[in-house]
Structure 1
Amino acid sequence: AVNENSLKRLNGYLENLQKPGFHSFKPTQLTFYVREREPNSSNVQESFGTSGFRAVSFTLHTRDLLSTVLDILNSCSLSTEHIQSLSVNSQPHKEAKSTLNRPIKWDKTYYSFTGFRDPEEELDQAQRVETTLTSWLDDNEASAVVKLKKSLPLREELERLKFELSHQLQLSDIRWQRSWGIAHRCSQLHSLGRLVQQRPEVLKNVKGRTVVFTDRSGMSAAGHVMLGTMDVHHHWTKIFERLPNYYKLQERLLFLEDRISQLLGGIQVIYIEELQPLLTLEEYYDTLNSFYNKLLDSRLPFHPQSLRGLQMILESDRYTPSLHEFGHFTIPTVCDPATLRWFIIAKAQEARENLKRREEMMLTEKELMDTSAEKLSLDRLYKEPSVSSAQMIDCCKRLLEESLPYLQGMHLCISHFYSVLQDGDLCIPWNWKS
Structure 2
Amino acid sequence: MFARMLSILSKGNCLSNLCHRNLTTSEAATALRPFYFAVHPDLFGQHPKERVINENSLKKLNEYVSSLHSVGYARPTEVIFYLKISDDNKGFPVFKRIEISLFSRDLRTTIKTILKACNLPVDYVNTIESSKLSRPRPAQGLVSWDHTFYKAVYSTGAMKVKPQITLQKWLEKNVAEAQRLSVMTRAIQDDIDRLSSALKNKLNLQELRWASVWGNTHYRGCLRSFDRLYAENKVKIEKILKGRTLVFASSTGVNLHGDIILSTEHVPTFWMNLLNSVCAYDPVLKRLPYMEDELSGLLNNIHIVRRKKRNLSLMAQQYEELLNKLINSLRRCQDEAKTCFFDEDLSNLQLVVECESGPLTVSQTGQFLIPASCPGSLVIEFIDQNKTMALQLLSEIPEFLEKERRLHAECLQEFHLSSLSKDDTVTSHQMTDFCSRLLNNQQQLQTAASLDDLHICVSHYFSVMQDGRMCIPWDWTEQQ
Give the alignment's TM-score, normalised by structure 1: 0.68
Identify the residue that residue 407 of structure 1 maps to in structure 2. 451
Secondary structure at the aligned position of 1:417 is classed as coil
Give the SS at the match of 1:262: helix
**1:109 alignment partner in structure 2:** none
Asked if 1:231 corresponds to 2:266, the answer is yes
Contact 1:218 1:280 in 2 (8 A): yes
Cα 1:428–1:378 change in 2 (3 A) is: same
Say if 2:212 and 2:264, in contact at 8 Å, map to a contact too: no
How many residues align? The count is 312
- 1: CA distance, partners of 2:249 / 2:301: 34
SS in 2 for 1:358: helix
Match of 1:279 among 314, 325, 333: 314
Partner Cα distance (1:364, 1:172) in 2: 29
Q: Which amino acid aligns with 1:425?
A: R
> What amino acid is aligned across from residue 431 of structure 2 in structure 1?
M
Q: Distance in 2 between matches of 1:179 and 1:367?
A: 28
User: Could you tell me which residue of structure 1 aligns to residue 468 of structure 2?
Assistant: 424
The equivalences for 1:162-201 within 5 A come to 162-201=196-235
- Secondary structure of residue in 2 paired with 1:382: strand
Q: Is the 8 A contact 2:251 2:313 kept in 1?
A: no
Equivalent residue for 1:213? 248
The equivalent residue for 1:129 is 163
Q: CA deviation at 1:239?
A: 2.0
Distance in 2 separating the partners of 1:317 and 1:295: 15
Q: Measure how far apart 1:147 and its partner are.
A: 0.8
What is the deviation of 1:277? 6.9
How many angstroms apart in 2 are the aligned matches of 1:256 and 1:149?
A: 50
1:391 aligned residue = 430
Decide whether aligned partners of structure 1 residues 234 and 394 sit closer, same or farther in structure 2, where only a CA change above 3 A counts: same
2:300 aligns with 265
| Cα shift at 1:329 | 0.6
Give 1:350's match in structure 2, choosing from 389, 393, 410.
Answer: 389
Residue pair 2:330, 2:377 contacting (<8 A) in 1 also:
no
Q: Map Cα deviations across residues 256-310 of structure 1 (whole Å, 9 max, x no partner).
A: 1111111111112222132347211111111111111111222232445611121
Given residue 385 of structure 1, which amino acid in structure 2 is its aligned partner?
A: D
- Cα separation, 1, equivalents of 2:265 and 2:472: 30
Q: Which residue of 2 aligns with 1:254?
A: 289
Aligned to 2:328: 293
Quote the residue 2:405 is aligned against. 366
1:314 maps to what in 2? 353
**Aligned-partner Cα distance in 1 for 2:287–2:222:** 32
Consecutive unaligned residues of structure 1, counting only runs of 5 or more, are 1-122
Aligned to 2:71: none
Do structure 1's residue 202 and structure 2's residue 236 form an aligned pair? yes
TM-score normalised to structure 2 length: 0.62
User: Is the Cα contact below 8 Å between 2:210 and 2:247 reproduced in 1?
Assistant: yes
**Pairwise CA RMSD of aligned residues?**
2.1
Tell me how far 1:222 sits from its aligned partner: 2.2
- Measure, in 2, the Cα distance between the counterparts of 1:408 and 1:386: 26
- Where structure 2 has 5 or more consecutive residues not aligned to the other structure, the ranges are 1-156
- Counterpart-to-counterpart distance in 2, 1:285 and 1:127: 43
Q: Which amino acid aligns with 2:301?
A: G
The residue number in structure 2 matching 1:243 is 278
Structure 1 CA distance for aligned equivalents of residues 476 and 458 of structure 2: 10
Contact 1:262 1:304 in 2 (8 A): no
Structure 2 vs 1, CA of residues 317 and 292 (structure 1 numbering), >3 Å: closer, same or farther? closer
Against the structure 1 CA distance between its residues 127 and 237, is the aligned structure 2 distance closer, same or farther, given a 3 Å change threshold? Answer: closer
Name whichever of 283-292 and 397-406 sits farther off. Answer: 397-406
How far 1:333 sits from its partner (Å)?
Answer: 1.6
CA contact (8 A) 2:351 2:370 kept: yes
Q: For the Cα contact (< 8 Å) 1:267–1:305, is it kept in 2? A: no
Indicate yes or no: 2:172 matched with 1:138: yes
Residue 407 of structure 1 deviates from its aligned partner by: 1.3
CA deviations 1:336-388 (Å, max 9, x no partner) are: 32221122122222222222221221121111111101101111111111111
Partner SS for 1:213: strand
* Structure 2 CA distance for aligned equivalents of residues 179 and 236 of structure 1: 19
For the residues of structure 1 that align with 2:270 and 2:476, how far apart are their CA atoms? 43
Distance, in Å, in 2 between the alignment partners of 1:311 and 1:237 is: 37
Deviations 1:47-86 (A, max 9, x none): xxxxxxxxxxxxxxxxxxxxxxxxxxxxxxxxxxxxxxxx
